[in-house]
Structure 1
Amino acid sequence: MNEITLTINGRQITASVEPRMLLADFLRERIGAKSVHLGCEHGVCGACTILLNGQTARACIALAVECDGAQITTLEGLRDDPVMDALCRGFHTEHGLQCGYCTPGMLITAHDHLRRKADITPEGIRHAFSSNICRCTGYAGIVRAVCKAADTLASESTISAQETPHGN
């Protein structure tokens, strides 16, 4: 057993883990992060996507011991995030999900894409999702949902910039 310390969704956690325990299993079984889905267990489908030290990562191909000292954010950790709120509204109104299995990974990927890119285009969104597999939707609703979220966020930032003196 190895002792690790991780900051998960803003909370520091120390635990003993077996050297072969996958990060996805640790997050689901020990922490209760049920948004970390296991699909392919090869890092291909994107269902287990998390933020690891601020970057998207696949929890199914990372060992928990390798992540000692890391900062991890799962979908549960973005509960009060305005970008995630806009994405959830977009996914709801644009029918961006069906069975929901891929949705947590899609939301994390979309959140990362919106956070990093200033110019959001349908082509850019499709490229961002090239590492996430959805077997139900055909991606059209997902792309529309992310576009809608980007528009909402742009509109909200314009409104808040107008409400403050001189846009500061």
Structure 2
Amino acid sequence: MSTSFTLNGKPITLDADPNMPLLWAIREVAGLHGTKFGCGMAQCGACTIHLEGTATRSCVLPLAAVAGRRVTTIEGLEGKPAKAVQAAWVELQVPQCGYCQSGQIMSATALLAQNPKPTDADIDAAMSGNICRCATYSRIRAAIHSAADSIQG
């Protein structure tokens, strides 16, 4: 069966089992490897993508659920919040191992798109589903604040 949707701003049709997790469809069928597998249970956030602009775990979402919808992966992330987050990540040297960072950036960007001036509590709530095994949480929070300041001008 085939599923058609918009992936990173471009229409795409993937010939795959509609019950296949979106994560595997993105990685193995579409060939985009920036979205990572972490736990397979939507608990760690490594697989975070944007579904219609909302941070969503792709490891438990069936491919069929995105039919006709807009999906953005780390490879397709663009716009002012995305550029500000990516610049802050580099400036503050957020990653250590880097494995979780695509999911962290996707969650942070979704947060700033909805709330351009988040408090620490807002950041903690939005990022609570993203696990960083290197424990760079303080740098992640600082980078989100820096990105928010950059967006504000």
Alignment match, 1:128: 126
Kept in 2, the 8 Å contact 1:97–1:137? The answer is no
Q: Which runs of 5+ in 1 are unaligned?
A: 156-168
CA displacement, residues 88-122 of structure 1 (integer Å, 9 cap, x when unaligned): 11111212111111111111110111111143222
Partner of residue 102 from structure 2, selected from 101, 104, 107: 104
Q: Which runs of 5+ in 2 are unaligned?
A: none
In 2, the alpha carbon distance for the partners of 1:111 and 1:102 equals 14
Instruction: Give the structure with the higher percent helix.
Output: 1
Kept in 2, the 8 Å contact 1:7–1:70? The answer is yes
Cα RMSD for the two superposed structures:
1.3
Report the AA paired with residue 101 of structure 2. Answer: T
Q: How does 1:116-155 map to 2 (within 5 A)?
A: 116-155=114-153
User: Structure 2 length normalisation: TM-score?
Assistant: 0.94
Alignment match, 1:113: 111
Alignment match, 2:41: 42
Kept in 2, the 8 Å contact 1:53–1:70? The answer is yes
Percent identity between the aligned chains?
35
User: Structure 1 length normalisation: TM-score?
Assistant: 0.86
Kept in 2, the 8 Å contact 1:9–1:74? The answer is yes
